Structure 1
Amino acid sequence: MVVFSCAGCGAVMTVRVARVALPDHAGQKYGHDLLSGLLEPGTYAVDPGDGRPWHTLQPEPEEHGVRLLTYCISGPPDRIGIAPSDVRGTVFIPERLGGCCCGWDGQYGPNLACAECGRPVATRVDDCGFWQVVWLEPDAVRPVAVAGPVQRMMDWEELPSAPPVDPRGYWSPQWRAAVAVALAHLLVVSGGKRVAVPDGPVAEVFRRAIDSLLPLGKPERHLILAGPGLSPAIMDIALVPRHPQTGEVWPCEAGAVVPLAADVWAYLAFHDDRRLVPAAYGMPVGLRRDDPPPLLPHSLFRPDGRVFLSTLERLAAFRQPWLRRIYEQMKDRPYMDPFA
């Protein structure tokens, strides 16, 4: 367990927190509603950034008495994400809170300062369409080890499961982000060859995008769901879970491995969304279960196009000409079918 303290005066900035893997939807912007927290209280995650050089924005000069507004929502590499409720000893920087809708999106840089010394230390993000989080600036804080309960490491057999549909009947934005990340990795390991996906839930979320991005023809590669609790088999491309705490990818001996967020993987592997139909002369009507049927989405599944593109940019194989062509075709139209 650690707490983070101000690098300037040493004041404690957070409660005790344990590290977890960065969620796939960390950089996602979704809809116009207020979203929930990016991270669970008591945890933190580190965002390595997108690999591009980071330059701190400088104030723009005034032209004809009007200050030019230049801003950027992204930040430097290795920012530390933390739940807003876990932050302590900070105050808002008023001049960096403008220009938002229902909250703050951090577009003007760090908007939280140390209450003791006034040093800018973090950026709170809670505007509509953004997952709520506080990003601690890597050069402004220091981790300090503290005594406390040792974080229990989850076994592979205990992976959580997340439903694919929200209460309104829409596809979960977390699912759309997680599948987009996995799709970028799948594209790389495919080598540009056609990939077959067996019928079932995996095909429902991957097949349309695969058919759109890879050439038509007879499949040369095969994607199979693999992981803890599933029967071992000889696999070409294995779709496996990524541990939610360590970020470790489940080990297997497949020809290639595609990681998928653990809660999405677990649902695909073990949940059956088929509706039960009463059989003739079966259970009497009065004794049938009154549980509501599982929610079904209103539309076909669409991975998040912007998350897909940002993931592809970070992969070393992105430099290959065939991947660059796909990226160039999509970058100005991340909402084109089958993405949204």
Structure 2
Amino acid sequence: MTVHGCRSCGAALTVPVSRVALPVHTYQRYGNGPGSLDPLLEPGTFAMDPLPSGSPGRRWAELEAGEAEALGWYAPRFAISDGPAGQVLLAPGDVRGVFIDPALVGDSACCGLDGSEPNMVCVTCGTPVATRIDDCGLWQAVWLEPLTTHVIEEGPGPHPVLDWRDLIDQRPGIPPSEPDGGWHPMWTAAVASALAHLLAASGGDPILIPDHRVAAIFRPTLDRLVDPVNARSECTLVLAGPGLPAADGHLALVPEHPQTGEHWPVARPVKPVPLAWDVWRHLAFHRDVKPVGLSVPIPPEALPPLFPSHRLDPDGRIFLKVLARLPEVRRPWLRAIYDRGRRFDYCFYVF
């Protein structure tokens, strides 16, 4: 089992937890409340952000030549973090021996804690060790500070790693619709990330999508972003993964393992396009509901809708961040798409 603790006094700060991949919607801000979103992670799990995070930040213009690419950024950002790497993400209910210090709570939030600075301290020694987030439009989370916390006990934890077949049985995915009929925020984040990878892999060529479910998700946005006038050829996007036939297209929408972060492997020359497991699983195996007891064919318009009635707009901030970390964004046609979002200071992307 893995337990995290305070560097200053050695006190345990978490229950035993198992490591999982950092969710694609980790830094998402969705809407404007009221209230926060659900906890970002499942109980008994933790994830680590390998990138620097927090203050101090550095303006893009302050970076030396080649420094940005050395840090994995291939397109301009307003600023990047020069803080420590390795922040640990936890579900709020999995922390122990810490409390929110009112003296450390900033005044920049709206309805809760926005997590701009550490606001939780170790009960034993008073060291600032974590940041609680629960502001409106944000996923609930606790982040452990890498400079003041560390692993004090390491092991597999309460959740063993599942193989791909077990994932199909035990993790059925997340439906696209919210109770109010809108798109689930995780879908907007997962599709935004996959869209960035899809554009990079396509080389700017028109993308054919035979599967009507996948087409309903990606086609409207692709049609608004990509100009096929100068395209050299067409490429086909297909679903591939556990339980499905081998990919027979140029591009394959493959699942990301939610625990390890690995992508389902495809044979060359097929190019993989990663998609978060909970969205991929629903797209790959969800079937239209059909009324029971009827033997006559049911016309498509008589079936319950598979998706919300309005189109899905991918999360703009996530799209820009993922695209900025792909080397392909340096190609002029893709850089032009990226630069459309810079007018809005990376707050959102108008598709």
TM-score interval w.r.t. the shorter chain? 0.7 to 0.9
Root-mean-square deviation (CA), in Å?
2.8
Question: How far 1:320 sits from its partner (Å)?
Answer: 3.0
Question: How far 1:335 sits from its partner (Å)?
Answer: 4.4
Is 1:257 the counterpart of 2:257? The answer is no
Moved beyond 4 Å, runs of 4+: 51-54, 72-76, 146-150, 274-282, 292-296
Is 1:85 the counterpart of 2:93? The answer is yes
CA contact (8 A) 2:5 2:11 kept: yes
Question: How far 1:146 sits from its partner (Å)?
Answer: 5.0
Q: What residue in structure 2 maps to residue 30 of structure 1?
A: 30
The structure 1 residue matched to 2:210, chosen from 198, 202, 205, is 198
| C-alpha distance in structure 2 between counterparts of 1:38 and 1:82, whole Å | 8
Normalising to structure 1: TM-score of the pair?
0.83
Question: How far 1:23 sits from its partner (Å)?
Answer: 0.8
Is 1:94 the counterpart of 2:105? The answer is no
CA contact (8 A) 2:204 2:226 kept: yes
The structure 2 residue matched to 1:323, chosen from 323, 328, 334, is 334
Are the structure 2 counterparts of residues 48 and 332 from structure 1 closer, same or farther at C-alpha, using a change threshold of 3 Å?
Answer: farther
Q: What residue in structure 1 maps to residue 142 of structure 2?
A: 134
Segments of 5+ residues of structure 2 without an aligned counterpart are 59-79, 298-302
Question: How far 1:301 sits from its partner (Å)?
Answer: 1.6
Deviations 1:229-273 (A, max 9, x none): 112243311100010100010111142111101111011111123
Segments of 5+ residues of structure 1 without an aligned counterpart are 58-71, 283-291
Q: What residue in structure 2 maps to residue 312 of structure 1?
A: 323
Is 1:112 the counterpart of 2:120? The answer is yes
Q: What residue in structure 2 maps to residue 13 of structure 1?
A: 13
Question: How far 1:13 sits from its partner (Å)?
Answer: 0.7
CA contact (8 A) 1:73 1:106 kept: no
| C-alpha distance in structure 2 between counterparts of 1:181 and 1:271, whole Å | 21
Deviations 1:162-200 (A, max 9, x none): 101111111110011001001111111111222211241
Is 1:123 the counterpart of 2:124? The answer is no
| C-alpha distance in structure 2 between counterparts of 1:260 and 1:296, whole Å | 18
| C-alpha distance in structure 2 between counterparts of 1:233 and 1:312, whole Å | 24
The structure 2 residue matched to 1:178, chosen from 170, 190, 194, is 190
Question: How far 1:98 sits from its partner (Å)?
Answer: 3.3
The residue type paired with residue 267 of structure 1 is H
Are the structure 2 counterparts of residues 90 and 74 from structure 1 closer, same or farther at C-alpha, using a change threshold of 3 Å?
Answer: farther
CA contact (8 A) 1:38 1:83 kept: yes
Question: How far 1:25 sits from its partner (Å)?
Answer: 0.5
Are the structure 2 counterparts of residues 281 and 37 from structure 1 closer, same or farther at C-alpha, using a change threshold of 3 Å?
Answer: closer
| C-alpha distance in structure 2 between counterparts of 1:119 and 1:205, whole Å | 46
Between the aligned residues of both structures, percent identity stands at 48
Q: What residue in structure 2 maps to residue 103 of structure 1?
A: 112
| C-alpha distance in structure 2 between counterparts of 1:197 and 1:47, whole Å | 33
Are the structure 2 counterparts of residues 281 and 82 from structure 1 closer, same or farther at C-alpha, using a change threshold of 3 Å?
Answer: closer
Deviates more, 1:270-279 or 1:315-324: 270-279
CA contact (8 A) 1:167 1:295 kept: no
| C-alpha distance in structure 2 between counterparts of 1:317 and 1:270, whole Å | 31
Normalising to structure 2: TM-score of the pair?
0.81
Paired residues, number:
312
